[in-house]
């Protein structure tokens, strides 16, 4: 059993813990929050043995094996580094770091210490992935891919009315590319491979936040067009087009709502599984990598290579679209 700590008490942490419960492989040891009151409330609700508002003492606790980090993006690097330096395996919410150089640095640190450093990306380890890969074999030569994650934020009206919100705060390395676009990039590189070229554009608010954007990834025989937005809701989802058929994907973040179209006939392949079940795969694999390093070393290496390629592409998109993060030095 893996003795787990969490950093962050938001809804995504609750969802990840629900996935951990399904695996039966975790002990919920310590919940960290900057507010001791929030930490205590969260710990009791989620079944943790302990709670704390002292991040360093949590990282230094010899009773812990691993940590799940779900805080604003700007904190991911420093918090992950702290736990890795103290011998803890780390799974961190996407984006795992604000740029690929930071990811590579911490992956090297983890490797030297014999630890696991993983990005919590549910699509890579869910059941829908194998269904998608099988469906792509049936559509012949790919001529076009359109990968979309446009989701109107439930907090957008509050933001328009002047409320300062983390998800639109670029000093926290937030914005639409980091929140939603990363899923599109993951899908493109996971399903289609590394692109030969990357170009991008974004629509900005007055505070510099990228509210929506798009990228074109160039491959030898086709292009993949990525679109993502937090200020509008897509109605048509994603599709990968081949000369023998089309694969439709309703949810690119969960690899769900999948169907195959061939000869004018649409065949549903997967609906919408329970969210905890979709996230179960990443929790299961994290446990595998920790408890069975030798048996799963090849798979872990492949995932690390994917993460590196994704964040290399993310950096190119930021550069092309002129997305900037006025990040100040953050305190743990």
Q: Which tokens in the block code for residue 23?
A: 């695996």
Q: Which residue has the tokens 């549903």?
A: 268
**Structural domains in the chain, sorted by start:** 2-123 (3.40.50.720), 127-277 (3.30.360.10)
Give the torsion sign (CA, 119, 94, 10, 147). negative
pTM flag (> 0.75): yes
Q: What is the pLDDT of residues 295-317, one digit of tens each?
A: 999 999 999 999 999 999 999 99
What does the pLDDT look like over 225-273, one tens digit per residue? 999 999 999 999 999 999 999 999 999 999 999 999 999 999 999 999 9
Confidence tier at 332 by pLDDT (50, 70, 90):
low
Ramachandran area for residue 268 (φ above 0: left; ψ -120 to 50: alpha; else beta)? beta
> Tens digit of pLDDT for each residue in 197-207?
999 999 999 99
Question: Average per-residue pLDDT in the chain?
Answer: 96
């Amino acid at each position: 059993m893996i003795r787990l700590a969490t950093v962050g008490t938001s809804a995504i942490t609750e969802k990840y813990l629900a996935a951990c419960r399904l695996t039966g492989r975790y002990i919920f040891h310590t919940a960290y929050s900057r507010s001791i009151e929030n930490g205590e409330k969260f710990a009791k609700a989620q079944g943790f043995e302990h709670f704390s508002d002292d991040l360093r003492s949590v990282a230094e606790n010899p009773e812990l094996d691993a940590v799940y980090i779900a805080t604003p993006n700007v904190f991911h690097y420093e918090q992950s580094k702290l736990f890795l330096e103290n011998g803890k395996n780390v799974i961190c919410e996407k984006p795992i770091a604000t740029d690929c150089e930071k990811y590579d640095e911490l992956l090297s640190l983890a490797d030297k210490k014999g630890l696991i450093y993983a990005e919590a990306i549910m699509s890579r380890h869910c059941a829908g992935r194998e269904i998608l890969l099988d469906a792509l074999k049936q559509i012949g030569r790919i001529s076009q891919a359109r990968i979309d994650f446009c989701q109107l934020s439930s907090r957008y009206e509050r933001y328009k009315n002047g409320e300062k919100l983390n998800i639109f705060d670029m000093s926290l390395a937030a914005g639409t590319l980091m929140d939603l676009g990363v899923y599109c990039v993951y899908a493109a590189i996971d399903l289609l491979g590394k692109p030969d070229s990357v170009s991008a554009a974004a629509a900005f608010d007055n505070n510099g936040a990228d509210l929506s954007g798009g990228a074109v990834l160039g491959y030898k025989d086709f292009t993949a067009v990525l679109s993502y937005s937090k200020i509008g809701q897509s109605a048509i989802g994603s599709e990968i087009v081949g000369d023998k058929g089309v694969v439709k994907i309703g949810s690119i973040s969960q690899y769900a709502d999948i169907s195959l179209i061939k000869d004018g006939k649409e065949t549903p392949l997967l609906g919408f599984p329970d969210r905890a079940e979709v996230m179960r795969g990443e929790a299961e694999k994290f446990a595998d990598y920790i408890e069975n390093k030798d048996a799963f070393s090849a798979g872990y290496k492949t995932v690390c290579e994917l993460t590196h390629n994704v964040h290399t592409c993310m950096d190119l998109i930021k550069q092309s679209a002129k997305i900037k993060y006025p990040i100040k030095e953050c305190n743990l």
